[in-house]
Chains A and B, each alone.
Chain A
Amino acid sequence: MIEVNNISKAFAGNQVLKNINVSFFPGKVNFIIGRSGSGKSVLTKCIVGLMEVDQGEIVFDKRNFTKLDRWDRKDIRQEMGMLFQGSALFSSLTVEENVLFPLQMFSKMSKSEMMDRVNFCLKRVNLEGKNHLYPSELSGGMQKRTGIARAIAMNPKYLFCDEPNSGLDPQTSIVIDNLIKEITYEFGSTTVVVSHDMNSVIEIGDHINFIYQGELWWKGDKRDILHTNNQELNDFVFPSKFMKEIRENLRG
């Protein structure tokens, strides 16, 4: 479980996150949603330690991440996997080498065990036989799947996905969404997905946290979204007249 307690973050006097309190649960797909510029990516970067918070604390299973120094954070970081918006695959390495990379750095496995793990991860994301291709030779969806394979290589307790569907067509998006959901349930990982894609939220979201102007504005599950009277959330989820009509029909 990840607990975010009262965190704030400002850039040059501009308050981006304001006293955010939120929990992310194990074995569930936890969403952070919000408009562009609402602070959801900054929140994720603070949680994974790519940015330092100005105040508050982030606790990973009773381990206070914010109080640890760079070297002590290493243990928790090795329990994290992250899928980046642009995949962030190492462009000079093949698909196989990308997935192998964290194993080579940290695992105590033998070479053959590592290769077995790589092949298992690639099979899990339906990329068997693509071992020797370079990221530039892959489609957007395949790059995302390689990113997922790399993220799960170390069997992470915490899986972070930053805009996993950006730049993908709706059908490929569903494939990626289902993969994230299956992996979360299969490995029992605490999964945090940052997105503004409502299809994904409705498809795989277990717990949803809505960030508005740097504050946690609303939280609940996907069914609650249909019935909430929170104006800002309704404007975000049902922005058009057509979507508002759909909501009324569903409510009715």
Chain B
Amino acid sequence: MTSVYFNIGKYCILLSNVFTKPERRSLYRKLIVQEIDKIGLQSLGIVGLLSLFMGAVVTLQTAANIDSGWIPRWTIGFTTRQTMILEFSSTIVCLILSGKVGGNIASEIGTMRITEQIDAMEIMGINSASYLILPKIIAAMFIFPFLVVISMFLGIAAGALVGQSSGVISMTDYEYGLQYFFELFQVSYTLIKTVVFAFIITSVSAYHGFYTHGGPREVGASSTRAVVYSMVLILIANYVITQLLLL
């Protein structure tokens, strides 16, 4: 238990160093753009692929489970929309990104630590925590919501395409289901969650990378810990935000 408090304290101290006035704002702007490309745009492929297949599968599974004539066909469109907007595009996509982006951040910063690159920055008088971590946090919090919106559109579109081509639902029913009892706040809720998840992924992964000690084996261990802790914290945050915003 002491170790938990110790790590929370260390994490807070790291964050206080991260959120300080940057040495050169122009350099940070350039870094943020680079990170948006690395963290966001380079994740577009995997997010798109997953969303397409998940939207298609949700549509087919819902159709397969509606045997009763009492349940209207438009429920398929409604279920696909709710699944994609409320959970898949935010939580599941962020869980996957915690593996890709989080693991990458922890190993990148961890390698810099063990090869003394961070020490070199400190000796130059640079706030290494801020220089290395702040651009990643800002970039992720900015670009993740776009990825999530793209994921929603692709999932729902894939559901429509598969539903029609397999004959389980007509386009009219699917559209009706999509529009049925739609609340814009649900999209806002998802985007709020995404921004929180983006912060968790980048800051927790950076924390594990930044305090890596030893050699390549420890970098691997830090990377694994970063992914595991990010995932656990995402699930906890998901529960807390849902409780606060939807009920």
Contacts and interface: CB of A to CB of B under 8 A. Distances in A.
Contacts of B117: 88-91
Identify which of B112, B123, B126 gathers the most chain A CB atoms within 10 Å of its CB.
B123
23 contacts: A49-B122, A50-B122, A50-B123, A74-B125, A75-B125, A77-B123, A78-B124, A78-B125, A84-B116, A84-B119, A84-B120, A86-B116, A88-B119, A88-B120, A89-B117, A91-B115, A102-B124, A104-B24, A105-B125, A106-B23, A106-B124, A150-B120, A154-B124
Contacts of A48: 123
Main secondary structure on A side of the interface with B: mixed
Contact of A80 (B23, B24, B115, B123): B123
A88 B27 CA distance: 21
Interface in B26-65: 27
A84 B123 CA distance: 11
A77 B124 contact: yes
Interface string B123-166: 11110000000000000000000000000000000000000000
In the A-B complex, the 3 residue pairs with the smallest Cβ-Cβ separation, listed nearest first, are A77-B125, A88-B116, A88-B120
Nearest to A74: B125
Contacts of B112: 90
B37 to A, nearest CB: 13
Contacts of B124: 77-78, 80, 101-102, 105-106, 154
A105 B115 contact: no
A80 B125 CA distance: 9
Chain A interface extent, by class: 20 to 34
Contacts, number: 54
Interface in B7-36: 23-24, 27
A50 B117 CA distance: 12
A82 interface: yes
Interface string B103-119: 00000000110011101
A106 B116 contact: no
Contact of B123 (A75, A82, A86, A106): A82
Which residue, A80, A82, A160, has most C-beta atoms of chain B within 10 A? A82
Contact of B27 (A73, A89, A90, A104): A104
Contacts of B126: 105
B122 A86 contact: no
Contact of B125 (A84, A85, A106): A106
A50 B125 CA distance: 11
A30 B164 CA distance: 80
Contacts of B116: 84-86, 88
A69 to B, nearest CB: 13
Nearest to A77: B125
Contacts of A86: 115-116
Nearest to A76: B125
Nearest to A101: B124
A82 B120 contact: yes
Nearest to B30: A104
A74 B27 CA distance: 18
Given A73-B125, A88-B115, A160-B123, 11 more contacts: A48-B123, A49-B122, A77-B124, A80-B123, A80-B124, A88-B119, A90-B112, A90-B117, A91-B115, A105-B27, A106-B124
A75 B111 CA distance: 28
A144 to B, nearest CB: 13
Contacts of A101: 124
A101 B132 CA distance: 14
Interface in A73-124: 73-75, 77-78, 80, 82, 84-86, 88-91, 101-102, 104-106
Contacts of A89: 117
Contacts of B119: 50, 84, 88
Please indicate which of the listed interface residues A50, A84, A86, A88 has the most CB atoms of chain B within 10 Å of its own CB. Answer: A88
Nearest to A150: B120
A104 B26 CA distance: 10
B34 to A, nearest CB: 10
Nearest to A83: B120
Nearest to A90: B117
A89 B111 CA distance: 12
A91 B109 CA distance: 12
Contacts of B123: 48-50, 77, 80, 82, 160
Contacts of A106: 23, 124-125
B122 A105 contact: no
B13 to A, nearest CB: 11
A150 B117 CA distance: 12
